[in-house]
Structure 1
Amino acid sequence: MGIHQTTIQDLAKICHVSTATVSRALNHKAGVSSSLRKEIIATAKEYSYLPDSNARAMRMGSSSTNVCLVVRTGQDVAHLLTMQDFEMFQQTLGMRLSTLYVPYDADVIDAMVAEENRNTVSLFIIIGWTLISDSRRFSQVKQPILFVSSDDAPDNYAAVVSDERFGSQQAANALLDAGHRRMLILTEENSGGMPYFKDRISGVKDAFAHHHLPFGSATVFSIPIDYRRYKTSAESFVARTIIPYLRQSGNGSPTAVAVMSDFLAAALIHVLYENDFQVPEQLSIASFGGWDITNYFPQPITSWVQPIPDLLRTTLNAIPLLLEHKDFSGTIALGSMHPNGERGRAEAISSRRFVVSGFLRQGRTIRVLP
Structure 2
Amino acid sequence: MASTIKDIARVAGVSTATVSRVLNHLGGYNEDTEKKVMAVAKALGYRKNENARSLVQKSSKTIGVIMPEVTTAFYGDIIKGIEDVAYEYGYSVILTHAGSQGSRIQESMNLMGERRVDGLIIVSVELHEPAMESLLSLDVPYILISTKTKREDAPYIKVDDERAAYTAVKYLIDHHHRTIGMAGANPEDPIAGAPRINGYIQALLDHGIKVDLNLIKAGDFSFESGKQAMQAFLEDQAKITAVFCASDEAALGIISACFERQISVPEDLTVVGYDNSKVSSMSIPPLTTVAQPLYEMGKAGCSKLMDAIIHHTSIESQVIAHELVVRQSVKKLS
Distance 2:49 2:92 in 1: 7
What is the aligned counterpart of 2:298 among 278, 289, 312? Answer: 312
**Residues in 2 aligned to 1:90 and 1:61: alpha-carbon distance in whole angstroms:** 15
Q: Corresponding residue for 2:284?
A: 298
**Structure 2 Cα separation of the partners of residues 239 and 362 of structure 1:** 22
Query: Counterparts in 2 of 1:270-281, with a 5 A limit?
Result: 270-281=256-267
| Maintained 8 Å contact 1:69/1:98 | yes
Q: Can you list the C-alpha shifts for 1:282-306, whole angstroms capped at 9, x where unaligned?
A: 1112221101111221112211111
Q: Which residue of 2 aligns with 1:158?
A: 155
Deviation at 1:363, TM superposition (A): 1.2
Counterpart check, 1:115 vs 2:111: yes
CA 1:92–1:262: 2 relative to 1, 3 Å: same
What is aligned with 2:181? 184
Q: Flag the 1:123–1:220 CA change in 2: closer, same or farther, 3 A.
A: farther
- In 2, Cα distance between the equivalents of 1:236 and 1:209? 27
Shift of 1:174: 1.2
1:72 aligns with 2:63: no
**Aligned with residue 362 of structure 1, among 312, 315, 326:** 326
The answer on whether the counterparts of 1:188 and 1:223 sit within 8 Å (CA) in structure 2 is: yes
Question: Aligned with 2:70: secondary structure?
Answer: coil
Matching residue of 1:101: 97
- Structure 1 or 2: larger strand share? 1
Percentage of pairs with the same residue = 16
1:91 to 80, 87, 90: 87
Q: C-alpha separation between the residues in 2 aligned to 1:209 and 1:238? A: 23
Task: Find 1:173's aligned residue among 170, 174, 179.
Answer: 170
In the alignment, what sits opposite 2:143? 146
CA displacement 1:258-313 (0-9 Å, x = unmatched): 11211111111111111121111111122211011112211122111112232123
- On the 8 A contact 1:299/1:364 being kept in 2, the answer is yes
The answer on 1:241 being equivalent to 2:232 is: yes
Uncovered stretches (5+) of structure 2, i.e. residues with no partner: 1-47
User: Counterpart in 1 of 2:203?
Assistant: 207
**Residues 135 and 154 in structure 1, CA contact (< 8 A), matched pair in contact too:** no
- In structure 1, the partner of 2:15 is none
- CA distance in 2: counterparts of 1:369 and 1:215, whole angstroms: 19
Structure 1 residues 91 and 197 mapped into 2: Cα distance closer, same or farther (>3 Å)?
A: same
Cα distance, 1:67 vs. partner? 1.3
The CA distance in 1 between the partners of 2:209 and 2:102, in whole Å, is 40
Take 1:86 and 1:317, find their aligned partners in 2: how far apart are those partners?
8
Matched residue of 2:218: which SS? Answer: strand
Residue 198 in structure 1 maps to residue 194 in structure 2: yes
Contact 1:256 1:285 in 2 (8 A): yes
Q: Which runs of 5+ in 1 are unaligned?
A: 1-58, 329-351
Per-residue CA deviation, residues 183-208 of structure 1 (Å, 9 max, x unaligned), is 11224228xx5564222223223433
**CA-CA distance at 1:222 after TM superposition:** 3.9
Equivalent pair of 2:272/2:330 in contact (CA under 8 Å): yes
Q: Does the CA contact (< 8 Å) of 2:244 and 2:272 recur in 1? A: yes
Letter of the 1:155 counterpart: K
For residue 188 of structure 1, give the secondary structure of its aligned residue in structure 2. Answer: coil
Deviation at 1:242, TM superposition (A): 2.4
TM-score (norm 2): 0.71
**Counterpart AA for 2:324:** L
Deviations 1:176-231 (A, max 9, x none): 001011111224228xx5564222223223433443x1452575424243x8xx44
Q: Render the CA deviation track for 1:334-367: whole Å, top value 9, x for unaligned.
A: xxxxxxxxxxxxxxxxxx4211112111111111
Structure 1 residue 101: Cα displacement: 3.2
Query: Which deviates more from structure 2 when the two are superposed, residues 67-76 or residues 108-117?
Result: 108-117
Contact 2:68/2:101 (<8 A) preserved: no
CA drift at 1:73? 3.0
In structure 2, do the counterparts of structure 1 residues 111 and 160 end up closer, same or farther at CA, with 3 Å as the change threshold? same
Change (3 A) 1:85 1:311: closer
Q: Which residue of 2 aligns with 1:267?
A: 253
Structure number with the bigger relative contact order (C-alpha 8 A, sep ≥ 6) is 2
State whether residues 185 and 219 of structure 1, in contact with CA within 8 Å, keep that contact through their aligned partners in structure 2.
no
Query: Match for residue 223 of structure 1?
Result: 218
Count, aligned residues: 272
Cα RMSD between the aligned structures? 2.9
Q: Secondary structure at the match of 1:80?
A: helix
Amino acid at match of 2:218: I
Residues 144 and 156, structure 2, Cα contact 8 Å, conserved in 1: yes
Separation in 1, partners of 2:122, 2:172: 33
Given the alignment of the two structures, is residue 283 of structure 1 paired with residue 269 of structure 2, yes or no?
yes
TM-score (norm 1): 0.65
